[in-house]
Every structure is written in C-alpha cells, then in structure tokens.
Amino acid sequence: MAKIIPFKAVRPTRDKVSLVASRSYQSYTQSELEARLDYNPFSFLHIINPGYKYHKDIVGKERYSLVRNRYQEFKEDNIFIQDKLPSYYIYKIVNREGLSFSGIIAAASADDYKNDIIKKHEDTIEYREIIFKDYLKTVGFNAEPVLLTYPDNTVIENIILEAQKERAEFEFTTTYRDTHYMWKVDDDALVNIINLEFESMQTVYIADGHHRCASSYLLSDELKSENKNHTGKEPYNYFMTYLIPESDLKIHEFNRLIKDLNGLSKESFLIKLDAMFRIENRGTEFYKPTKKHHFSMYLDGEFYSLYLRKNNYAFNTALDALDTQVLYKTILEPILGITDLRNDTRIHYSHGKNDLVNIKEKVDDGLFQVGFGLVPITVNELKAIADEGLTMPPKSTFIEPKLRSGVTIYEF
C-alpha cells in the first residue's frame, strides 16, 4: 500500500517560474553555468551555487549552509511562495520531439522505500547517500523530485485529463524547447480519491533518482531517532516525487564505447566474438538493432550486426536476459577485460538520444576503438529486475521525462 500524499509546495510565482527553473547542475558546461549566473538573478542555480556571490568555490558544510541562506533570501524576496493547502500537482511536459508526459508531483513515504513498496533497480553508493543526506539535513528541502512510475490507472488518468482542461498554474518553454505545465489539485474530494488510488497500489517503481531516495530514507531515519516526540506525520517522513504511469515512461538505451581491444587485433577480436554471436558485416550502412539480444557494433570504419547464439548463453534470471548484462558477460568482461563498469576509464556511455552517429564520430576521431549499440530496456524488464531484488549494470537506462529543479519544493 503506497503512501503518496499531498503537500504544501513552495514554488516560484507565475511570472518568474521560467526564470527560476534550471536543469540538473551537472548538466551545464562551465560557460553555460557562468552565463546563467551572470545574466539571470532569479535562476535556481544561484541557490545551489551560493559561492558565486563571493566569486569563490565553496564546498562541504559551508556550502550547504549558504544554499540554505540563498533559499531563504528567495523566499524573503517573494520569488518563492508557499501554497496554503496540501495539494497534488499535475505536471505535464511536452518535449521538442513531441513526446508528452503527464503525472503527479506528491510526497512519498521514506518507509515505503525501506519496506520495498517503492522498488529499486539500481545499486547506490553509500558515501554518495551520506553526502546527500547531510546536504538535505542542512538545507531542509527537496528541489528536484524522484521519478516514480506506477501501473496505468483509469481513475487517476481521468482526474489528470479533467484538470488539464483548465488554465494551468503556469506554462513555460525552456531553451531546450520543452514546454512545462502545472495544475494544482487541492479540492478535498479529488485529493481523497487520488490518495486512495495510490493506497490501492502494492508497489511503485523508481525510474530515476535512486540516490535521492536512499538519502531521503537515511535522513528520515536520523531525524526520527533525534525526535523524542516523533509521530510519523512529520514532513521528514516523506520526500518529493513525480509519479507517471508506466505507459508514459520513455526509456532510451545507453550505448557503449571502448577505448581499445584489450591488446587484440581486429581479426582476433572478431574470431573471439564469433563464439557467442552470429556476425554480419554491414559495411558503411548504419545498423541499429531492433530486437532483444541483437547488437550493433562499429569497428574500423564499418558497422556489424551481432546476434547472440542463445544456445551458448544461460537465461536463469531477469538480469541474465538484460541486454546490458548480456553484452557485459559475453564481450566486455571476458574479451575486453572490463570488470568494473562504474570505474574503468576504458568504457564510456552514450545515451540513445545521441544515436549511432555519436558512436561513429567518436570512433572515427580515434577517441575510441569500438562502439556497441543496444535496444532500449522495457518497463517490464525494469520491473522484473526490481521484483527479483536484482540490480542492472550501470548506465542501462536513460529515462524521460527530465524535470527542472526549483519548480516545486518540498520542505521538511
């Protein structure tokens, strides 16, 4: 039974939301970051990059405190306001490719993460969990929701569609040409219906944001132990999420680029591949795989199709059947000697939105020697991995939608 509740969001005023909203901090180049900080005083980047005010890089706990200060200044200047009633927030994104995503921003229970009602499919790194937990404890807010997905639900879908017939609380288009809309749902009857529908769900799944989930649970557990009057209703028992139905989730593949052939010649490498794959040379024809267990390979100016010889490979778990795992167990580890997919500097990941052109260019430029293209993982595969308590290899999915930071904020 998933606990997904409404909350009183802190959010930018209608006239400033487009100026406040920012992408994930890590996605900006240094020049992009400097331009936004120089010319947009309302950008959320000023909050998460507080050292800009002093022309100094500030890290650690000192930075966390300054983030909190910048946030309070935005509230004092009425750039941010807080809703008076607990609400669900219907959020829609239409990206530049014309794909549309509609879901609900709400608060999810940290205990549901602990109890495997909110299921994960990726491993987290402990030190990153702790760092972000300490950050959250100091700043006191979530500014970017965790992306969760739930089984398609007709009742929730109808509420979303009805709300979208009204004028949105805000509408803005980014420089990426994605258009964002938000509607507030604070009517008691509708709030109760949404709450009950989520309560009827036995599980929901993390699509993106595993570390934020884990850190939010650690924070909840820590604050619970420090509060002698803990009731379970405190805001720190929850964290901000964006929930979208499974049919709205868009999963792109992550392709692989490798810097060398582990000392093998091209011919020796192809002979080793032949033990596990039926290989066809496609020449200069761009080959993009369309089926599970089919891969494309770009090597020495030519494309190849690789079809797994299934008689030579055992499918014992949902993980075994995952194409990123197949590639790892048949090529990357045994032939190319890559055992640590997270830290080996010989491997690079390129999400499918960059397509095979990106792989070809980087191999042709000599930055990498070989590239592999995959088909996207499906929602059902993601769920099967989570249900079996397994974890995918790193960079198995590039998932949309991607939300902006600072559009809705959850305080605890």
DSSP for 288-315, please give it.
---STTEEEEEETTEEEEEEE-GGGS--
Percentage of the chain beyond pLDDT 70 is 100
Instruction: Tell me which of 111-115, 126-130, 267-271, 336-340 is least confident.
Output: 126-130
DSSP for 153-207, please give it.
-HHHHHHHHHHTTSPPSEEEE-TT--EEEEEEE--HHHHHHHHHHHHT-S-EEEE
The pLDDT of residue 56: 87
> How far apart (Å, rounded) are the C-alpha atoms in residues 82 and 79?
10
Average pLDDT over residues 260-279: 98
CATH 3.30.1760 domain locations along the chain: 254-396
C-alpha to C-alpha distances, 176 to 94, 188, 288, nearest whole angstrom: 11, 36, 26
Average pLDDT over residues 208-224: 96
The pLDDT of residue 120: 95
**Side chain identity at 409, as an amino acid letter?**
I
Q: Average pLDDT over the chain, rounded to whole?
A: 95
Please tell me the pTM assigned to this model. Answer: 0.92
Q: How far separated are the first and last CA of the chain, in Å rounded?
A: 23
Average pLDDT over residues 83-100: 95
The pLDDT of residue 40: 96
The pLDDT of residue 342: 84
Sign of the dihedral defined by the CA atoms of residues 149, 155, 157, 162, in that order: negative
The pLDDT of residue 324: 96
Phi-psi region of 262 (alpha: psi -120 to 50; beta: other; left: phi over 0): left
Q: Phi and psi for 351 in degrees, rounded to 5?
A: -70, 155
Write b or e for each residue in 129-142: b if 16 or more Cβ atoms lie within 10 A of its Cβ, otherwise e: beebbbbbbebbbb
Confidence of residue 263 (pLDDT cuts 50, 70, 90): very high
Confidence of residue 24 (pLDDT cuts 50, 70, 90): confident
Instruction: Tell me which of 39-43, 334-338, 394-398 is least confident.
Output: 394-398
Confidence of residue 354 (pLDDT cuts 50, 70, 90): low
Structural element, H or E, at residue 346: none
Do the Cβ atoms of 360 and 298 come closer than 8 Å?
yes
Q: Which CATH architecture has domain 254-396?
A: 2-Layer Sandwich (3.30)
Q: Which two tokens stand for residue 121?
A: 């499919």
Neighbours of 23 (CB within 10 A): 19
Structural element, H or E, at residue 347: strand 347-351
Average pLDDT over residues 266-280: 97
Is the confidence at residue 228, as pLDDT, over 70? yes
The pLDDT of residue 123: 85
Write b or e for each residue in 253-264: b if 16 or more Cβ atoms lie within 10 A of its Cβ, otherwise e: bbbbbbbebbeb
Strand pairing partners for 399? 251
Q: List pLDDT tens digits, range 304-325.
A: 999 999 999 999 999 999 999 9
Confidence of residue 115 (pLDDT cuts 50, 70, 90): very high
Do the Cβ atoms of 163 and 92 come closer than 8 Å?
no
The pLDDT of residue 256: 96
The pLDDT of residue 154: 98
> How far apart (Å, rounded) are the C-alpha atoms in residues 353 and 398?
9
Q: List pLDDT tens digits, range 234-255.
A: 999 999 999 999 999 999 999 9
Phi-psi region of 339 (alpha: psi -120 to 50; beta: other; left: phi over 0): alpha
> How far apart (Å, rounded) are the C-alpha atoms in residues 218 and 306?
44
The pLDDT of residue 353: 73
